[in-house]
Amino acid sequence: MQFHLNDFKGIYDQYVALVYTVALHYLQNTQDAEEITQDVFVQVHQSLHKFRNDAALKTWIYRITINKSLDFIKYKKSRKRFFVFGHKADAEAELHKIAHFEHPGILMENKENAEQLFAVINQLPENQKTAFLLSKLEGLSNPEIAAIMEVSVSSVESLVFRAKTSLREKLAAKFETHRKKK
Amino acid sequence: MEKDQFIETILNSSKGISHVAPSNDLFSKIEHGITAANVPARTIWWVAASVAVLVALNITAVSAGKKPAEDQTTTVLASTLAPNNQLY
């Protein structure tokens, strides 16, 4: 079944903000999030004919975005490791890009605190991170998250609980370090 | 107490987060990506075959070009020798 580009444009208009924002949750960099958005929609266009209606289009698009974002993080980490042995100027530029926090979806007054929050979210294991982001930042229900992650609802509950506990511990450690510095 | 307040403030900083749209030219980039990704496999094979033929022709031409040079050397050497096979 061949999809017309007009149908694709409709899907793009409907989901582009969702894809871009989820990519921003993972990468906190507008340039990288645009790259992910581009890759996601190219894959959506290529695989639209294979799409089975037993899974909602939104769930499928979420899944592609998450997988692409996680792959991108792995790729960047491997490049960061490579740059340690590479040219100094390139390494510095790369590290600066990673350290630079960008998330246009966050309220201006919360930006500084959100930067600290994302710094600890980035330390979570992949599945806890995904469950937390979808639950707290995207506001999805546990059954919706379970469908996206292809796990049971009870697993999602457990992942979100563990993510929250871990975040609290990491933030408590951060608070102690911050107080000692003062 | 102070610690709990710090943790809650940080955790609540994600409240009010909204979906944002990327730059307007992204769709044209995606269209370009789709066109690039849609190059038929047959075209790719034709290009690969053409390159292979071109490389083969070049190798043949280079090796054929070397032969006359060798022949020329042999001819010059032969012409310096006396035709009647006498050494002096």
Q: How confident is the model over B24-75, as pLDDT tens digits?
A: 999 999 988 888 767 677 888 888 999 999 999 999 998 887 765 555 666 6
Chain A partners of B26 at a C-beta cutoff of 8 Å? Answer: 16, 34, 37-38
Question: Taking CB atoms and an 8 Å limit, are A17 and B33 in contact across chains?
Answer: no
Q: Could you give the CA distance from residue B19 to residue A22 in angstroms, rounded to a whole number?
A: 8
**Cβ distance A45 to A82 under 8 Å?**
no
Query: Residue A148 corresponds to which tokens in the numbers above?
Result: 């996206």
* Alpha-carbon gap, residue B67 to B63, rounded angstroms: 7
Which residue, among B16, B26, B37, has the nearest Cα to A13 in the 3D structure?
Answer: B26
Q: What percent of chain A has pLDDT over 70?
A: 82
Whether residue A106 is predicted with pLDDT greater than 80 in this model: the reply is yes
Half-sphere exposure of A50 (CA within 13 A, CB side): 6
Residue that the structure tokens 């457990």 belong to: A158
Average pLDDT, chain A: 86
DSSP secondary structure, A37-97, as one string: HHHHHHHHHHHGGG--TTS-HHHHHHHHHHHHHHHHHHHHHHHHHHHHSS-HHHHHHHHHH
Alpha-carbon gap: A84 to the closest alpha carbon of chain B (Å): 32
pLDDT band at residue A86 under the 50/70/90 scheme: low
Q: Are A117 and B20 an interchain contact pair (Cβ–Cβ within 8 Å)?
A: no
**Who has greater pLDDT, A120 or A94?**
A120
The closest CB to that of B17, out of A9, A12, A105, belongs to A105
Q: Which residues of A touch B (CB under 8 A)?
A: 5, 9, 12, 16-18, 20-21, 24, 30, 33-34, 37-38, 41-42, 45-46, 104-107, 110, 113-114, 116-117, 120, 136-137, 167-168, 171-172, 175-176
